[in-house]
Amino acid sequence: MAKWETALTGNFNEILHRIENGILRGSVSATLEESSDFEADGARCSVRVFERYSYAGNNRVSLSVTLFQNGGRIFCSAVTSGGSQALFFKINTWGEEAFLEKLQEVLS
């Protein structure tokens, strides 16, 4: 499992759109598995769960992205999962790290 968090500036909708398009266009096997959006009292939260096949790990990995805005501040938290081939401990997490790096590239 890998995690990356960052503060962002800009338009919430544009950032969310950039994340969705960048991840889906960044891999031929990437899919948007599920999404959730919530808004209350001026705060917004959007969650996106992506999945793709990892050639390096020979398995499927997921990327969960949460975008949260309260006032003008926007926070992004991303967590990957599923890129291990071991029974009791994690080995071969290259696919998870590559998926996370794609999100970092999209948001840079």
Looking at every residue in the chain, the average pLDDT score rounds to 88
Model confidence over 73-86: pLDDT tens digits? 999 999 998 766 66
According to DSSP, the β-strands at 59-70 and 3-8 are unpaired
**The pLDDT value given to residue 83:** 61
Q: Scanning the structure block, which residue is given the tokens 């994340």?
A: 19
Q: What is the pTM of this model?
A: 0.88
Domains and CATH numbers, the chain: 3-107 (3.30.310)
Alpha-carbon gap, residue 35 to 49, rounded angstroms: 6
Tell me the pLDDT band of 89, cut-offs 50, 70 and 90. low
Distance of alpha carbon 15 from its chain centroid, rounded? 12
Alpha-carbon gap, residue 108 to 73, rounded angstroms: 17
Alpha-carbon gap, residue 41 to 19, rounded angstroms: 24
Whether residue 55 has pLDDT greater than 80: no
- Which residues contact residue 101 at a Cβ distance below 8 angstroms, ignoring those fewer than 6 apart? none
Whether residue 8 has pLDDT greater than 90: yes
- The amino acid that residue 8 corresponds to is L
Helix (H) or strand (E) holding 47: strand 43-54
Whether residue 87 has pLDDT greater than 60: no
Compute φ and ψ for 5, nearest 5 degrees.
-135, 145
